[in-house]
Structure 1
Amino acid sequence: MKIAWVFPGQGSQTIGMGVDLQETFVGKTRFEQAQRILGWSVLEKCQGDEEELSRTLYTQPCLYVIESILGDLLREKGQTPNLVAGHSLGEYSALYAARVFDFTTGLQLVQRRAQLMDTVSGGKMAALIKFDRSQLEQVIAANPSVVLANDNSEQQVVISGTPEAVKEVLSQIKVKRTVPLKVSGAFHSPLMKTVAQEFETLLTAYEFTDAQIPVLSNVDPTPTQSGKVLKAHLTQQMTSSVRWRETMLQLRKEEISHGIEVGPGKVLTGLIKRTYPNLELANVSGIQDLV
């Protein structure tokens, strides 16, 4: 049996997530550590206003803290994955689970990432469901102001770019459903270059060790345990596409038989089911799932 842990990113957050984790020693300790680092309470944000929780500044640290606690609790129960991967922000939780860095380092990086991304404006992102992929690729190739930001599955992607360019692309393709995303900037696109450079400078101050478990990165879904390589991938992540469709295909190539989505929601589980239907899937979002 080969197990992969996958960690969701922004968009998976829900009010009430992680509140039960304070009943555990690990959860209580991590929430206290997080409050000292962040200067605000993750538990309060998770029980507060939905709009505030959905703000990048708060969403990303909250998800990282909760997913890290859940990963630690799984380890306490003697579980260890053969492979880890995370979707966008979730990659930080995956790197922590693989012990590339400690909890504090991960949270400091996520906090700074969230602060930088929260300052970006003037971009637009839209999710596309059921479309002609070759047609979309042709239209994007002809428009330098739009990129494929998240290649989530064969029939679900996110495009990112200037508002005008995103609108233009959508007018040129046939798509069953379009969902504009509530984000301030064009994440995972070249429009993030300035903040990505600032983040890269920040990253140089941190030490990454080699992973205990192979990691599939968003920018290169090939298993690696090299701390140096994984750090380089993180510097590219802000401006590069999230190659999740290829990540799921890699799970099959690696003969993964069981997948656990570690974190709130079932977004990744849904995507994996459609791409790799033979994989046994489970969700761990709270204490009730750990029994």
Structure 2
Amino acid sequence: MLISSLQNEKNSTAWVFPGQGSQQLGMGRELLDFPFTQLRLQQAESILGWSIAKLWQSDDHQLSHTQYTQPCLYVYMTLLIDFLKRSGYQPDVVSGYSFGEYLALYAAEAFDFETGLKLIKKRAEIMSRLPQGSMVTLRGFDPEKLQKVVVHTPNVWLANDNLTYAILSGTNEAITSVLSQVSVNRVIPLSVNAAFHTPLVETAAQEFEGILDCVDFQPFVIPVFCSVDFTVSFNINQVKRNLIAQISQPVRWESISRTLVQQGINEAWQIGCGRGLLKSMQQIDPSLKINNIGSTADIDSMVIRDQLKKLSIANAKMINK
């Protein structure tokens, strides 16, 4: 029923949210000029015990450490969501890449800002205690050769399903071993300090499950795409199971993108830094309209565009009368 309802919409829009590793130094700076942001940052500091605004304005590499990265991303993207909604925008479905699923749930009003931040704080603290590991993005390689080497190398896994690039996740030694055996045009280290989406973080998933069970989610006002079982859902228990499973499982964003497009999405907005998630979606459907929303300036541009579009339609109707 959800699929058919999306397909029947003239314009079905998905909001998608990137995960940890998407953060950029300076993100959120322009939001500091708004009184609403200052109120939100005060709420955040009372929960976290440290200032997100200082990290937004700093070039300190502290931002790459999990216990700081996840709360900073959460506050940044929830503000963008709220500014979008205040401007009259609402998605038809939401989805997120790993940590980004919590932003999708916030957009679906599964929890309020403070409840979500308290949950993220505990999640980040658990993950920050994980053994050191690495994640790297690879571009320009032989997929069959890479797959074969990874399968025969302990403590390293492919953490995604994209055909145009690969993400290796594992111990530093294991990743170094793979790279010594496979020719790669470009290796891009991700700003993370653990081997996410591998069995090496299963202990974090188990610890976090007990915490997540104690948090009451509200009924979703927007359907949420579950990344583990590839379904669009309003089911709270299903989504919670997904949040636990995705910690130690690969992110299959290409499969997610393909499913969303097949379900009738014809426009996608990436909320946050960059537009990496949108590239995968547009490769599957080149006609897909895409937008990146990383600042209030991006929102203002959309508002102006939509107002001009409405004016153009109204003028056309007047002419045709």
Summarize the alignment of residues 1-291 of structure 1 with structure 2, pairs less than 5 Å apart. Answer: 1-151=11-161, 153-291=162-300
| Aligned residue pairs, count | 290
* 1:260 to partner: Cα distance: 0.9
Q: CA deviation at 1:227?
A: 0.8
CA contact (8 A) 1:188 1:240 kept: yes
The C-alpha deviation readout for 1:50-105, integer Å capped at 9, x for no partner, is: 41122222111111111111111111122111111111221111111011222112
Q: Which stretch of the first structure deviates more once superposed, 165-174 or 75-84?
A: 165-174
Deviation for aligned residue 1:33? 1.2
User: Deviation of residue 24 (structure 1)?
Assistant: 3.5
**What is the TM-score with the length of structure 1 in the denominator?**
0.92
Q: Report if aligned partners of 1:150, 1:244 keep a CA contact under 8 Å in 2.
A: yes
3-state SS, counterpart of residue 5 of structure 1: strand
Query: Could you tell me how far 1:25 is from its partner in structure 2?
Result: 4.7
CA-atom RMSD in angstroms: 1.9
Runs (4 or more) in structure 1 with deviation over 4 Å come to none
Partner Cα separation in structure 2 for residue 228 and residue 114 of structure 1: 22
Could you tell me how far 1:221 is from its partner in structure 2? 2.8
Distance 2:297 2:136 in 1: 34
Deviates more, 1:59-68 or 1:99-108: 99-108
What are the Cα deviations for residues 101-126 of structure 1, in whole angstroms up to 9, with x where unaligned? 22112111111111122222232322
Amino acid at match of 1:232: R
Does the 8 Å CA contact 2:267/2:289 hold for their aligned counterparts? yes
Structure 1 range deviating more: 275-284 or 75-84: 275-284
Query: Which one has a bigger Cα radius of gyration?
Result: 2
Q: Whole-Å Cα distance in 1 between the matches of residues 23 and 170 of structure 2?
A: 24
TM-score computed with the length of structure 2 as normaliser: 0.84
User: What secondary structure does 1:125 align onto?
Assistant: strand
Gaps of 5+ in 1: none
Decide which moves more: 251-260 or 124-133: 124-133
Aligned to 2:308: none
Separation in 1, partners of 2:126, 2:287: 39
| Inter-partner Cα distance in structure 1 for 2:191 and 2:72 | 17
1:35–1:76 distance in 2 versus 1, CA, 3 Å: same
1: CA distance between counterparts of 2:168 and 2:119? 25
1:4-28 deviation line (CA, Å, top 9, x unaligned): 1011122222222212223445423
The answer on whether the counterparts of 1:150 and 1:157 sit within 8 Å (CA) in structure 2 is: yes
SS at match of 1:238: helix
Question: Secondary structure, in 3 states, of the residue corresponding to 1:274?
Answer: helix
| Residue identity (%) | 42
Q: Is the 8 A contact 1:190 1:240 kept in 2?
A: yes
* Structure with higher helix content: 2
How far apart are residue 144 of structure 1 and its match? 4.7
Residue by residue over 1:173-210, the C-alpha shift from the partner in whole angstroms, topping out at 9 and shown as x without a partner, is: 34322223343221111111222211111111111233
Taking a change above 3 Å as real, the CA distance of residues 211 and 143 of structure 1, as seen in their structure-2 partners, is farther
